[in-house]
Chains A and B, each alone.
Chain A
Amino acid sequence: MQVSDLSVARGGVPVLSGVSFALAPGEALVLRGPNGAGKTTLLRCIAGLQEPLSGRIEGAEDRVAYAAHADGLKAMLTVRENLSFWAQVFGMSDLSPALDGYALRPLADRLAGTLSAGQKRRLGLARLLVTGRPIWVLDEPTVSLDADAVALFGSVLRGHLAAGGSALMATHIDLGVEAQVLDVSAYRAAPDADLGASDAAFL
């Protein structure tokens, strides 16, 4: 995946400009930067949830699995039903790597609404494994995970990278995974930059 000269805006205000990086199979890239620097906005652009102001994103379409703060779980479906729904949406059928990778098998028949915050997070991350997509775009993946679960996530991530996948993450925790670091504060947009935030008039 190749990102070149990307500018993104949040709420009509440009936050980042001129972001360029490349992500090869097997590589992980960690985004760093203070709160409000634009990490989430950048990730949403790459996931296709919002249009960039300018610049190009190549090789991301239909290859990205996105996980953000909300896990997209249905409280009244069981863990297994939640996973199998997403698996079917993405045209996959095998749930066992996801259930085993995050130690969810004992919870498989519990309703997702009865899980703890950390267990929900594990289920949300397990969803990535049933998408079959090579590029993981993760926004603060370790929120509400305990040390053991972070280690689980680290090992699943290593497996994903070893299998030729790649990952783009905004995280402040050391996952024990070899990763490049991109500090987004270097790309902060000039405060008065008029990059053509066309919807600004409506906000």
Chain B
Amino acid sequence: MRALLLRDLRLALRAGGGFGLGLAFFLIVVMLVPFSVGPEAQLLQAIAPGVLWLGALLACLLSLDRLLALDLEDGSLELLLTAPLPLEGALAVKALAHWLTTGLPLVLAAPFLGVMLQLAAPGHLWLLISLALGTPALSVIGTFGAALTVGIKRGGLLLSLLVLPLYIPTLIFGAEVARRGAAGLDASTPLLMLAGLTLAVVALMPFAAAAVLRMGLR
């Protein structure tokens, strides 16, 4: 398991691994928002939590189609299936590697991008907390989507169509935490819902992903 995690991290950081792509995408999307809606501070402040959450979510989606497709292409996915690792565990580790290389940089960058969108002062902390709690769910759900579409040529778009609806609950509660935090309201209810959602998908999705992957490769 640890070997798989280290291998995936190492591959992500080497040339062509795509590390930083999601982060750069997030940066550009957030930068484009003031150009599209205008520079009014009041308006930007109101939409900042939602825009930041949406940007992070789309950035997470960007690298999902590589998650299993590369391993399928070079044959290592089949070899992993014959290895003594439980497939559920291997997929959970791959989701963790995806989160560490894609989700975590987004979480850390988001408060700085919040400044660009005039996010109100206590909101940065809440944005950080909500993304830190929510993005693991995005990676795990995405792993399920990647397992579902792994054998399909040009499955990337299909993957997005399948995964985005599943992201909705996380988006709702995550953005709500950030919005309430920024407005100085009590954010504990959506925060608990967000944490509960993440825990549930982290517990269940690796099993679902392993089941569909076994079916797909047969």
Which A residues contact B (CB, under 8 angstroms)? 47-51, 62, 64-66, 68-77, 81, 84-86, 88-91, 127, 199
- Identify 22 residue pairs between A and B in the complex whose beta-carbon atoms are under 8 Å apart, listed by A's number: A48-B82, A62-B84, A64-B82, A65-B82, A68-B78, A69-B75, A70-B76, A71-B74, A72-B74, A72-B75, A72-B76, A72-B79, A77-B10, A77-B14, A81-B10, A84-B3, A85-B4, A86-B79, A86-B83, A89-B3, A90-B84, A127-B79
Q: Does A51 lie within 8 Å of B78, measured CB to CB?
A: no
Residues of B within 8 A of A64 (CB): 82
Q: Is the interface of B mostly helix, strand, loop or mixed?
A: helix
A91 CA to B84 CA, complexed, in Å: 9
A77-B11, A89-B80 known; A71 and B3 CB under 8 Å?
no
Task: Out of A49, A71, A127, name the residue touching B81 (CB < 8 Å).
Answer: A49
B165 interface contact, C-beta 8 A: no
Chain B, 149-187, CB within 8 A of any chain A CB = none
A64-B82, A72-B74 known; A85 and B218 CB under 8 Å?
no
Q: Does B217 lie within 8 Å of A71, measured CB to CB?
A: no
Q: Does B82 lie within 8 Å of A51, measured CB to CB?
A: no
Interface pairs A-B: 10 shortest CB-CB: A70-B75, A88-B3, A72-B76, A72-B79, A76-B14, A72-B75, A66-B82, A89-B83, A85-B7, A50-B218
A49-B82, A49-B217, A50-B218 known; A85 and B74 CB under 8 Å?
no
A99 CA to B74 CA, complexed, in Å: 21
Nearest-neighbor residue (CB-CB) of B217 within chain A:
A49
Nearest-neighbor residue (CB-CB) of A124 within chain B:
B75
Which B residues contact A (CB, under 8 angstroms)? 2-4, 7, 10-11, 14-17, 73-76, 78-85, 217-218
Task: Out of A66, A77, A85, name the residue touching B78 (CB < 8 Å).
Answer: A66
Nearest-neighbor residue (CB-CB) of B14 within chain A:
A76
Nearest Cβ distance between residue B14 and chain A, in whole angstroms?
4
A68-B75, A70-B75 known; A76 and B4 CB under 8 Å?
no
Nearest-neighbor residue (CB-CB) of A89 within chain B:
B83
Residues of A within 8 A of B3 (CB): 84-85, 88-89
Nearest Cβ distance between residue B168 and chain A, in whole angstroms?
29
Q: Does A76 lie within 8 Å of B16, measured CB to CB?
A: yes
Interface centre among A47, A73, A89 (most CB of B within 10 A): A89
A152 CA to B29 CA, complexed, in Å: 55
Q: Does A90 lie within 8 Å of B74, measured CB to CB?
A: no
Residues of B within 8 A of A86 (CB): 79, 83
A90 CA to B82 CA, complexed, in Å: 10
Residues of A within 8 A of B79 (CB): 66, 72, 86, 127
Nearest Cβ distance between residue A125 and chain B, in whole angstroms?
13
Q: Does A76 lie within 8 Å of B78, measured CB to CB?
A: no
Residues of A within 8 A of B218 (CB): 49-51, 199
Q: Does B82 lie within 8 Å of A74, measured CB to CB?
A: no
Nearest Cβ distance between residue B217 and chain A, in whole angstroms?
7
Q: Does A76 lie within 8 Å of B82, measured CB to CB?
A: no
Nearest Cβ distance between residue B18 and chain A, in whole angstroms?
11
A66 CA to B16 CA, complexed, in Å: 28
Nearest Cβ distance between residue A82 and chain B, in whole angstroms?
9
Contacts A49-B217, A89-B84 supplied; 15 other A-B pairs, CB < 8 Å: A48-B81, A65-B82, A66-B79, A69-B75, A71-B74, A72-B78, A74-B7, A75-B74, A76-B17, A77-B14, A81-B7, A84-B3, A85-B3, A90-B83, A127-B79
A74 CA to B15 CA, complexed, in Å: 12
A64 CA to B81 CA, complexed, in Å: 11
A138 CA to B84 CA, complexed, in Å: 18
A75 CA to B4 CA, complexed, in Å: 16
Nearest Cβ distance between residue B82 and chain A, in whole angstroms?
5
